[in-house]
Amino acid sequence: MKIKIILTGLLLQTSLFLFSQTTIVDSIISNGIYRSYRLYIPAAYSGSADWPLVFDLHGYTSNAYQEQFYSNFMPIADTAHFLVVYPQGTTMGGQAYWNAGQGGSANDALFISDLIDTLKANYAIDANSIYSCGMSNGGYMSHSLACVLNDKIAAIASVTGSMFSPQYLSCNPGRPVPAMQISGTGDATVPYLGGPGTLHIDTVVKYWVNHNNCNTTPAFSNVPNTSLTDGCTAEHYVYSGGANGSSVELYRVINGGHTWPGSPFIVGVTNQDFNASLKIWLFFKKYKLSQFTGVEENKNDASIVIYPNPADNTLIINGMDKNTTAVVYDLNGKKMMELNTEQPDISELPKGVYSVVLKHNNQLTIKRLIKL
């Protein structure tokens, strides 16, 4: 049974944070199974204007509920006006996780894609302003989404996460992807210097710097050491000048542990000189998906309908005429095929999730297609 729970009211997080909260607990069916999530909606949201959407992915063994309060995006979302969604991973070996290339059978990229489509259909969301961040395994998964779901995710951030070797070797985004990395040099769970199957943090940063064609010499600054009792300090590196205005940023927390800087919950050496959630949002808000793809999704064009969806061998495109062009792209932005008739044969298209970009009446319309 699908259950939707709406939690509203005033929640006192600490003496520093008092905010009006609306959290919707719901689920969707993705890849044949129920997948749950929590959606935080600030009190100012009315649905009259499209708002950005931030994904915040929990760490290994954690859950969506814990992540919501640990990262504490809520006061920022209240004032900056964006929605925050906290999806729940599946389990492997009895522990909650995200399948970011380390094994398991969960298709989490498909789940995130399906969840984006569901939320866009039910809430006023700016399709050009969807972002993903996460803690630890959630940070790994955010890097994975930059690799395979960059037709929907504009920019990503990873806190105490890295990239698994298979994930790194197969990553080939079709566009620049702005990325922020926040890691502690004293992290014993995801070591800064890397370990078996996981990359050195500097290697991860270098990958995105090179991919985005950023300046390889960063602008460096020390984060002001405003907290003298947290046991750590922080450095900030900005690699600017990337293609289409992209950049890469690194917060290197000297002696910092496997923790979220600025969190109100101290579970180890937690830097309090900066608020990671605020820095992530300020990074995200600089970027729109359309500046990298060159297209803006037209959600109001109902003149073109594609069905059945999911499809098997044949697709029907209602509203297509001789002046319409239709091209299918995979999640990496690779052109897969052109659709030249109202009932194109897609039997040779591998199963998966695709974007169909249609140019019709001098407008670009993006439709999601699932091939069985």
70 torsion bin: left (phi>0), alpha (psi -120 to 50), beta (else)? alpha
Beta strands in 75-163 (DSSP E): 83-87, 90-92, 95-97, 125-135, 155-159
Residue 298: which of 369, 371, 354, 362 has the closest Cα?
Answer: 362
| pLDDT in the model for residue 19 | 40
Would strands 125-135 and 51-57 be described as parallel, antiparallel, or unpaired?
Answer: parallel
Domain positions in the chain: 5-293, 305-371
CATH code for residues 305-371? 2.60.40.10
Encoding tokens for residue 349? 């298209």
Amino acid in position 269: V
How many angstroms separate the Cα of 248 from the Cα of each of 191, 220, 292? 20, 12, 15
Residue 56: which of 29, 8, 30, 23 has the closest Cα?
Answer: 23
The upper half-sphere exposure of residue 281, i.e. CA atoms within 13 Å in the direction of its Cβ, equals: 22
Amino acid in position 187: D
CA dihedral 150, 156, 158, 162 (to 10 degrees): 30
| pLDDT in the model for residue 98 | 97
Give the neighbor-by-neighbor strand order of the sheet with 83-87.
5-14, 17-30, 33-40, 83-87, 51-57, 125-135, 155-159, 179-184, 248-254, 233-239, 219-223
Q: What string of pLDDT tens digits covers the 372 residues of the chain? A: 344 555 554 433 333 333 446 999 999 999 999 999 999 999 999 999 999 999 999 999 999 999 999 999 999 999 999 999 999 999 998 999 999 988 788 999 999 999 999 999 899 999 999 999 999 999 999 999 999 999 999 999 999 999 999 889 999 999 999 999 999 999 999 999 999 999 999 999 999 999 999 999 999 999 999 999 999 999 999 999 999 999 999 999 999 999 999 999 999 999 999 999 999 999 999 999 999 987 666 555 667 888 888 888 888 888 878 778 888 877 555 678 888 888 899 998 998 878 788 877 666 677 778 887
| pLDDT in the model for residue 306 | 85
Amino acid in position 292: F
Same fold, 5-293 and 305-371: no
| pLDDT in the model for residue 342 | 86
Fold entry, domain 5-293: Rossmann fold (3.40.50)
Q: Which pTM does this prediction carry?
A: 0.79
Using CA atoms, how far apart are residues 236 and 331, in angstroms rounded to an integer?
31
Using CA atoms, how far apart are residues 86 and 138, in angstroms rounded to an integer?
10
How many angstroms separate the Cα of 213 from the Cα of each of 67, 147, 295? 33, 16, 21
| pLDDT in the model for residue 171 | 94
| pLDDT in the model for residue 307 | 83
